[in-house]
Chains A and B, each alone.
Chain A
Amino acid sequence: MLDQQTILSPILRTYDLKAGYEGKTILNGVDLDVGQGEFVALIGPNGCGKSTLLKTMARILTPTSGVAELNGRAVHDTPTREIAKAMALLPQTPLTPDGLTVRELVAQGRFPHQTLWRQWTKADETAVHDAMEATDVLQFADRPVTALSGGQRQRCWIAMTLAQDTDVILLDEPTTYLDLKIQIDVMQLLSKIAAQGRTLVVVLHELNLAAAYADRVVMMRDGAIVHQGHPAECITAETLEDVFGLRARVMTDPDTGRPVCIPMTGPAA
């Protein structure tokens, strides 16, 4: 399907991106192109740099060298509010303010579109309503977010990023800490969002979720991209061994044609 070569006008791209924490380099020069409407999953072992890559693209981290571009503009040199109109971010562990209602939380997504003179418009109202409808949280609209379950909360956070009304949404491990059924619900929701034309870049821990839903998996190791492509081509016993050091059997889901990884749990031969 979509791969590096076929993306003629990427919406999001990085050139030789290097970044890290406190002098320690984690990203070793990453080149990544993401096409309009693509659903890209970043996967790899802990510490491989997938979250660092996402955070650098999201301008939470400043690159030590290289560039991240959104619609051809350097993310780190463009006013942060301009970026926020085109790219939303769902962090891994956002804080839920005590007493904030679902509607108020989702409404935060409208921040980049508001000015001092136009605080709340019909467009804001519509965007918030549509986002809550798409994520099926309308029935909780006036309840405090803290009173909801983990899965319901995650839908509210996704609604907030939808209300931001951006072409690109970055999500940092949106399924962590959720039950398997809820993980599937969240992934189905993200698929639906991607199918409506938004571009999603998602850091995922769970290989099988990436395999089942992403248009492209980007496999990282030691701060670099080592394999990428459609899950059916890219996720194989060899690449899993190479990227994760994991011995696994890769089978094909007869319904979807997507690969399924089954780690070898028996005693080592």
Chain B
Amino acid sequence: MGRLTISFALTAALVVLAALFHMSVGAKAVPLSEVTGAFTAFDPTVMDHQIVRALRLPRAVIAIFAGAALGMAGAMTQGITRNPLAEPGILGVLKGAAFAVFICVGFLGLVSVAWIPLVAAIGAVISGAIVFAIARAAPEGATPVTLVLCGAAILAFLSAVLMAVQLLDETTFQNLRVWASGTLTGAKLETVYWALPWGVVGAVIAVWIAPRVTAMAMGDEAALGLGIDLTKTRAWGFGAVVLLSAAAVSVAGPLEFLGLVVPHMARMIVGADYRAIVPYSALLGALVLLLADIAARTVLAPAEISTGIVLALIGAPVFVGLIRARL
């Protein structure tokens, strides 16, 4: 128990440090002392304080929020599918969000960027519901295998359609290309208010069913023997994944990879119990996305790279290193 508390406290401290650093870098460097000053002794006449509060804070908050949501969504996905390679993306949820946004922008003439978060969230929920419904209709029901297979099928279908519409009309979708790779650019705090309810409900469900998910890792028969309703638990878990992914995709676009890597790192640090993995994946997801976004804004400064691309570029080798270190 002591080790767990230390891991949580240390990681939480790292999140705070990374957030402060995140707010200090950018087109105009703000010293760390001014970043903390913007919160402890806010002075509206100080330019740096204004930058931090108006521009930098929203982006940091969104990175923390989206990272935490995706971390938990990834942990739940791997838990209910009992598949270490699963992530929200493989269930078709993120692609569903992107699909909805592209359709609304391309064919329904949606122009206001303000609507993207809501459209993305609804797209995630609808595609998630379709995947679950198809998996349920299989003779053996929504099992780990049918869920992943249906997700992969929907994912392939949506990818193909998305590719086709983009090839047909490149100009309309030009502006969406950055969004579709996952980005925190132009983040507005208001979008978090939109996304917060989805995220909170998803997180509560995830924490609530975490003990069952731990038991389900021992196989269906063992879980049944402990009195766990497998169908119900998978449905709740899937619902949590969809809500958390919808929350994340609405503020940060379809960020891939985070949901795959973070739960693995969490498991290496806090063990196999989802009661610890779920909340810890939230902390770790926030930390990882903050760090990726710092890199996205500094590596090619003053130019900015898409956060999603940085995440995969840096995340992949780091992940391989982690796996090797463990073997």
- A contacts, CB < 8 Å to B: 55, 58-60, 79-85, 88-101, 104-105, 108-109, 111-112, 114, 116, 161, 164, 170, 172
Contacts and interface: CB of A to CB of B under 8 A. Distances in A.
Contact of A84 (B227, B272, B273): B227
Among A80, A97, A114, A172, max chain B CB count under 10 A is at: A97
A91 B272 contact: no
A88 B267 contact: no
B228 interface: yes
B3 to A, nearest CB: 10
B190 interface: no
Contact of A97 (B208, B212, B218, B226): B218
Contacts of B272: 97-101, 104
A97 B222 contact: no
Contacts of A58: 221, 224-225
Given A97-B218, A108-B218, A111-B211, A164 B271 contact: no
Q: Find the residue from B211, B215, B220, B272 having the highest chain A CB count within 10 A.
A: B272
Contacts of B82: 95
Contact of B227 (A81, A94, A95, A172): A81
Given A88-B225, A104-B273, 6 more contacts: A80-B228, A92-B221, A97-B217, A98-B272, A111-B212, A172-B221
B144 to A, nearest CB: 11
A89 B222 contact: yes
Interface of B: 82, 208, 211-212, 214-215, 217-222, 224-229, 267-268, 271-273
A263 B225 CA distance: 36
A95 B219 contact: yes
B267 A164 contact: no
A95 B219 CA distance: 5
Contacts of B225: 58, 60, 84, 88-91, 161, 170
A179 to B, nearest CB: 23
A85 B208 CA distance: 20
Given A91-B221, A97-B218, A116 B208 contact: yes
Nearest to A88: B225
B165 to A, nearest CB: 42
B228 A59 contact: no
Contacts of A82: 227
B228 A94 contact: no
B294 to A, nearest CB: 30
Contact of A112 (B221, B227, B271, B273): B227
Contacts of A108: 214-215, 218, 226
A89 B217 contact: no
A102 to B, nearest CB: 12
A81 B211 CA distance: 14
A99 B271 CA distance: 5
Nearest to A161: B225
Contact of A111 (B208, B228, B271, B273): B228
Determine which residue in B211, B220, B227 has the highest number of CB atoms from chain A within 10 A of its CB, and name it: B227
Contacts of B219: 91, 93-95
B226 A91 contact: no
Contacts of A83: 227
Nearest to B273: A104
B224 A104 contact: no
Contacts of A88: 225-226
A109 B226 contact: yes
B228 A100 contact: no
B218 A60 contact: no
25 contacts: A58-B224, A60-B221, A80-B227, A80-B229, A81-B227, A83-B227, A84-B226, A88-B226, A90-B225, A94-B218, A94-B219, A94-B222, A95-B217, A97-B214, A100-B272, A100-B273, A101-B272, A104-B214, A104-B273, A105-B218, A108-B214, A111-B211, A111-B227, A111-B228, A164-B226
B224 A100 contact: no
A101 B218 contact: no
Which 10 pairs, one residue from A and one from B, show the smallest C-beta to C-beta distance? A84-B227, A89-B225, A91-B221, A81-B227, A100-B272, A97-B217, A99-B272, A112-B227, A95-B219, A94-B222
